[in-house]
Structures are given as C-alpha cells and as structure tokens.
Amino acid sequence: MKITIFGTGYVGLVTGACLAEIGNQVLCVDIDEAKIEGLKQGRIPIYEPGLESLVKRNFEAGRLQFTTDVADGVAHGLFQFVCVGTPPDEDGSADLQHVLTVARSIGQHMADYRIIVDKSTVPVGTADKVTAAIRETLEARGLNLEFDVVSNPEFLKEGAAVEDFMKPDRIIVGTDNPRTAELLKTLYEPYNRNPDRLIVMDVRSAELTKYAANAMLATKISFMNELANLAERFGADIEHVRIGIGSDPRIGYHFIYPGAGYGGSCFPKDVKALAHSAGQAGLRAELLEAVESVNARQKQVLFNKIAKYFDGRLAGKTIALWGLAFKPNTDDMREASSRVLMEALWEAGASVRAFDPEAREETRRIYGERPDLVLCERAEQAIEGADALAVLTEWLEFRSPDFELLRQKLSEPVIFDGRNLYDPELMARLGIRYYGIGRGL
C-alpha cells in the first residue's frame, strides 16, 4: 500500500519505518527542511532502540522516502497519517493547530478519495474538526470529494516503540464506515496474526481510549507515590507493600513502582488535556487533578530529602546525578524529574555532575554550558568529588554498581534513590546512608 505520514517526530518516524518494513511504500512529510535532509543522510533525530537501522534499511530499499513537499505527500498515499504534535496550551488543553493545518493541506491538494488517519493524541471530537476543515477547504476549491477520517491512536512506549508497533497488544480503529474499517484491517493484517488484536469502535470512543489509557497508567503511578509517602510516615517499606498488592491478579505488578514522579511527552500532557476536556464538557475531573497534583509534589521529594540531609546548607555542595532521561532507553527529557531536581539544586547554590547513557546531548541542548553542570562520559566520573549521589532513571547499568567505589569516591557515602533500585539493608551493611522512596523513616 501507499502511505503518507505527516510529521517525522517520535510517532511519525516509528510509524513510517515500521509500515515500510513490511513492504509498504511510505512517504514521510515534514516542514522542517533540516530534519528531512538529515533523515535522508541517515541522521535520526531521536534515540529509540532499533529505529536507526530500521530507517536506514527501508530508505536504502526505496520503501521509505522523505520530503517537505506537501502536495507530493497528499498525492502519494491512500492513507494519510497525521502524526504531528499536539503540545499543551497554557490552560492544559491540547493545541490542535498542527493537526488542523495538515487537514487543510490535505483538503487543498487531494484529487480523489483519501483516508485521513489521526495517529496523534487528540481530544474527543477532533475527528469532527478535521472533517470540517477538509470539507471547508474542498468547498472553497469547488470540489465535493469523498474522504474518511479515522481515529487510530498510537500506544508506543518510548524505549520499546519499534517492538510495540511490530507486535502490538491492541490496534484501535475508530470509524463509522465498514469499508474503511476493512481497509485498515488489511493495512494492519501483518501485525495482527494471532490472536486478533484489532478493535473497531466509533471515532469518539477511539479518541477517548488513548487518553483513558494514559490517564489510568498515570493514576496508578501517583497512587503508589501517595502510598510511598504514607509508608515513610508509618515506618513501612513500600516495596514490600508493592509486592503484597501486586500479587492480587486484579491489581497486578505493572505501573505500581513508586519513584520520583512520571514525566515524558505523554502522561503529563494527556492527563491535563483530559481534565481540560472534562471541564469543557461540564465535569470537574477531580481524580485527574489529584493525579497531576500528586505527581508535581512527588518531583520535589528527592530534593527535599537532600536538603534535609544537609540541613538546608546546599550552597557549595556537589550532587552526582545518575539518569537524566525521564525513563530508560530514551533521550527524552520532557517533564523529566531530573530537570526539577537539577533546577532546585542550582537555585539552592549546589552544583551537579551528571551521567546518562543517552540524554547528555539533550541536557546540553536544554541548559547549554554552565559552570554548575558537568556532563560526564561515565557513571564513575559523575561521583568523583561529589557530596552525594541521586539516582533518577533506572538504566540497567545503575542496578548493580561498585558500591565500594561509591564509598571511596563520594565525600559522604550517601545515596538518594529516586527509583528504589537498592536494598536498604545491604546499604546499611556496606556503611552507605540510603534514602529511597517510601522505604520507612
């Protein structure tokens, strides 16, 4: 099949490369000329395991192409995937200007039937707005062409996006047209062998499903962080509690890990957008507001522990940070807990020595060169001359470090563990002061 992808960001690039991998002819469109030129030369703008080789292989095979020409994109594909960003507005709502710009561009250039596939995370009712924008543009051209708008939300986890696309746990298709549903089933059939993972529903339900999924996962995280803060006050260990409740199959172990708060491009934005949409519909989403409030507070917990340990005297201290990305296997630092901690430390007069396997360049892009930030090439370098270590991201290489080396390198043998990677009893036996999340007073 011939497929057009509008947007070569995280979702667009993964979607385009994976669709090309099974033999489709994919044309990715983006208005960023530098990005398109870089992709043609094999430069991938994001880190995602397996993506670079996938893009390179399919580009060299001629199945994956890149362009800035919108008209070529509209002419190319029966399927027009909209994968552009929907950043949060000041009021928390999703900004649809890029989605609607693509819709009008499709209406401006289409000459026959097209299926417009909303892959971006958008509020309920967006398909109606996309339909209206295309129809108005066609009417201005004096044309009455047939088209369908489908909701097909993505469920890609950063760090496992290629695998998630190639082996999905579900494929949601929102459409009221049975013919369009069959065409989408055909498109996704190579990913949908056994069992059948494709679920067809109405458009608005599909749009809500994406927000509901992310809001549910964010709720589980904030609930566990709330319990972790309770555990500290009760003298309990949240890790024991986690195992105890996770053994209940009605609860399970997924997304019940306490920590320093969730981040990334999805959960914070989508929780706020859903709460805003609820308000527009006349409902105050109190639970969603609480989820966001708990998460914002949780991002301050590690700094508060560090400040308490040093009696508030952080000026002149150096804190080593392990982990900058909001989660492992990505370089994404959007809404990352590390940013909240670093900025609070700098405000208090402390310096930071930081290491992350992938996010150092992104950190440099965000903060530039500054005297109170040293980005290190290895984890061991970050702890040299530091007064304490804070762990923010659960990269595998941080799970079993050389604790004797930590004792030698740190001026004070103290660890603030924002992801509960280490055993408090082991730390005590090794003579390391240890402060986790919800591990008792």
Helix (H, G, I), strand (E, B) or coil at 173: strand
Among the listed residues 28, 83, 266, 376, the single catalytic one is 266
Task: Single out the residue of 409, 406, 414, 418 nearest to residue 388, CA to CA.
Answer: 414
CA distance 264 to 10: 12
| Cα separations in angstroms, 165 against 11, 19, 105, 161 | 10, 9, 27, 6
Helix (H, G, I), strand (E, B) or coil at 361: helix
CB atoms within 10 A of CB 422: 21
Helix (H, G, I), strand (E, B) or coil at 94: strand
> Which residues on adjacent β-strands are paired with residue 317?
none
Instruction: Write down the residue that tokens 């909303």 correspond to.
Output: 118
CB contact at 8 A, 173 and 148: no
Sequence-ordered list of residues with C-beta below 8 angstroms from that of 390, at least 6 positions apart, any chain: 302, 306, 319, 320, 321, 322, 341, 415, 416, 417, 418
CA distance 30 to 102: 10
Instruction: Write down the residue that tokens 């972790």 correspond to.
Output: 228
CB contact at 8 A, 80 and 6: yes
CA distance 131 to 149: 6
Altogether, the residues listed in the chain come to a count of: 441
DSSP assignment string, 397-432: GGSS--HHHHHHHSSS-EEEETT--S-HHHHHHTT-
376 is catalytic: no
Residue 123: asked if its preceding bond is cis (omega within 30°), the reply is no
Q: What is the DSSP letter of 246?
A: H
CB atoms within 10 A of CB 432: 20
CB atoms within 10 A of CB 254: 9
- Residues forming the active site: 266
